Structure 1
Amino acid sequence: MDWRGIVCPRNYLGSLIRALLLITILFFLVYGSLEQRCKEPGTNKKDIAIREFLSKGESFQRRSGDIQLPVEHVKNVTVVTAFFSLGNFIKGTLLRREDFYQQNAGKIAMVRNPLIFYTNSPEIAQQITFFRRSYQPSLQTDVIIMNINDSWAFGLRPRIQAIFNQDGYPKYHPQTINANYSVAMHAKYEVMADAIKSGRVRTTHVCWMDFGIWRNEEGEGFEVGIPNDVIDGQVAYTEIEANSNPTPRNIVYLDMVWVVGAFFIGRVEAVQTFCTDYRRGVHWMIKHFLMSTDQQVIYTLYSKHFKLNPRVHIQTYRAPPEFSHSPWYYLAYRCRRALH
């Protein structure tokens, strides 16, 4: 067919173009509205449940026998956290890109507490420094750029990878596959011990907060306080399952979890001793050709099968039924207060 013989009237062509433009504009308006609605903070069931739970704090405190949700929101807690550049990795069934965690720099910087931050990424160090100067200029901020080649935890990588490469070793992404992920979990306790030993922690209490723990939270700022029922001399964690004293092998091979490593809090002296005992637990597990994350190391440390008795007790907090949407972060929410 000779397409040159077909003539499209100018009016018809103009009308067609205008109609297509109108349809395109309407599509983006509707799509943008839906997207904004999906992104609007606090509208999904999880956010609503958490907000309602936290809002009950005043009444809980007034009635004896109820859950003691509120905390003493003193500013005598130093927050220690870290970001280690590990590249992309699989977590569970999801591919976690490095920028997924990098986006949390602004949220961590919002904390209204002294902040000690460790990283091997100069770019993230600059971001944290910028955000803290912008949002919390009057509060202590120590940003430490690490050389992971000098790190105790990262120095364990070849031995841990050899354990993961054993025939028949369980494959849980990433904790028993990616040695970099495993050593990053152990590095928490290395940098926490360094923060205390170096004298950077100048408060009575200190907490560890995973860098990505508040990735789903919105808000202008928050502070971390001390639970009013915390026991001096112990380190507090969120408990997921009761300690059933399984063997260290079952803890690793069945990927068992007793307490959650994302957040813990305690008096400085107790945390310092705990970090030393944690290191002993790591070396014991490597000696016995076992390894996973800090959660499995802690479970092993406090199992009756572990002969080197830890010197610090763990105080556990279990999420009540009304907090079922985020039971892994119950203690973190107990200690957090949003500032408006």
Structure 2
Amino acid sequence: MDQAHNIEGFIRRIAGTNKSLTVVTGYFNIGSFPKGSIASIRKPKSYENWLRVLGKIKNPVILYTDSPAFAEAFDNIRNHTKDLTKSVVINRTSLWSFQIIPKIAKLYSTPGYPKHYPNTYVPAYTALTHSKLPVVLDAINQSYFLTDYYCWLDIGYFRDILARKQSFWLEVPSDFDATKVGVTRVYNSKLSDIRPKTIIYGNLNWIGGGLFLGKPDVLVRFGKQYKDTVMRYLNESLMNVEQQILYSMFTTEERKAHPLDVDVQLYIPGRKKVLSNNPWFYLGYLMYNET
């Protein structure tokens, strides 16, 4: 009862401020896989190491995983903020993103389908990138923490600051448009005169998938349009990870043919000075505020 009261009091104190943000992250164990090239292998140990940064976040944090051991490690790392911590162990096949693995695998095994490691090489990796929005939507639906905003955050997003000791908040930028979903525009890629097949086959990028920021109701609508797009592309024998799907669905011709319910707000690296120069992580570091 006291714990619940403490959480409610905390949520009330940050309500209406840019700190009223729940962070949702996830880890699904697909073993080791090639990252970038067939010779460069990423192992589960990397995620176990990067997990340590989450212990420094002062916002409520929710982890979705299929690994009880990973959930236990997460809980231990956030033991000092356990009232603002929730680990959810699930069977990943309960998510639509993992239910389509057989279709993705069949497509990737088609002769001539381009191989990008691991994006179009490991079907389970493709599926886990598509699981980001579904677990955010579940967190919203379950109302674990009733904050004004939610964001998805990759486990390894703040890997470059593992050595920093300070705790920090993730705060909603003051210029954020609450009708949109905030993302980092990594490349100034063209949106007109380009087809989804070119993007998906070529593994081309526009925005990063490491962080999505939004109001709960906006993220729910965004998640629906995203799922509909993934399923449509799969039926058209096109598939890749979330970044290529997002780029494709926001191109000029695709938006004409398939109007979108929710737009994105682009945060462009270099506009403001932040702690990291890595353009993939710009929005997260823009939101980063040490205490």
Normalised-by-shorter TM-score class: 0.7 to 0.9
State the alpha-carbon separation in 1 of the partners of residues 148 and 93 from structure 2: 31
User: Is 1:136 equivalent to 2:86 in the alignment?
Assistant: no
Give a deviation string over 1:67-108, Cα, whole Å, max 9, x none: xxxxx9732000000011110001003210111111122211
Query: What is the Cα deviation at residue 109 of structure 1?
Result: 2.5
Query: What is the Cα deviation at residue 237 of structure 1?
Result: 0.5
Corresponding residue of 2:5: none
State the alpha-carbon separation in 1 of the partners of residues 197 and 262 from structure 2: 23
Query: What is the Cα deviation at residue 308 of structure 1?
Result: 2.2
- 1:327-338 pair list within 5 angstroms: 327-338=279-290
In the TM superposition, structure 1's runs of 4+ consecutive aligned residues that sit over 2 Å from their partners are 72-75, 304-308, 321-325
User: Is 1:227 equivalent to 2:177 in the alignment?
Assistant: no
User: Is 1:192 equivalent to 2:144 in the alignment?
Assistant: no
Question: Is there any run of 5+ residues in structure 1 with no aligned partner, and where?
Answer: 1-71
Q: CA RMSD in A?
A: 1.7
State the alpha-carbon separation in 1 of the partners of residues 56 and 107 from structure 2: 39
* Contact 2:186-2:205 at 8 Å conserved across structures: yes
* TM-score using structure 2 length: 0.87
Question: Is there any run of 5+ residues in structure 2 with no aligned partner, and where?
Answer: 1-15
- AA at the equivalent of 2:197: R
- AA at the equivalent of 2:57: V
Corresponding residue of 1:314: 264
Q: Rg larger in 1 or in 2? A: 1
User: Is 1:239 equivalent to 2:191 in the alignment?
Assistant: no
* Contact 2:54-2:78 at 8 Å conserved across structures: no
Corresponding residue of 1:82: 26
State the alpha-carbon separation in 1 of the partners of residues 250 and 129 from structure 2: 18
User: Is 1:299 equivalent to 2:247 in the alignment?
Assistant: yes
SS in 1 for 2:253: coil
Query: What is the Cα deviation at residue 116 of structure 1?
Result: 1.1
Corresponding residue of 1:113: 59
* Contact 1:104-1:212 at 8 Å conserved across structures: yes
State the alpha-carbon separation in 1 of the partners of residues 190 and 259 from structure 2: 17
- 1:282-297 pair list within 5 angstroms: 282-297=230-245
Q: Provide the aligned length of Structure 1 versus Structure 2.
A: 266
- 1:1-340 pair list within 5 angstroms: 74-93=18-37, 94-133=40-79, 135-137=80-82, 139-217=83-161, 218-220=163-165, 221-245=167-191, 246-306=194-254, 307-320=257-270, 325-339=277-291
* Contact 2:180-2:264 at 8 Å conserved across structures: yes
- Judged with a 3 Å threshold, the aligned counterparts in structure 2 of structure 1 residues 204 and 181 are, in CA distance, closer, same or farther, namely same
Corresponding residue of 1:16: none
State the alpha-carbon separation in 2 of the partners of residues 327 and 149 from structure 1: 33
* Contact 2:173-2:286 at 8 Å conserved across structures: yes
* Contact 1:153-1:186 at 8 Å conserved across structures: yes
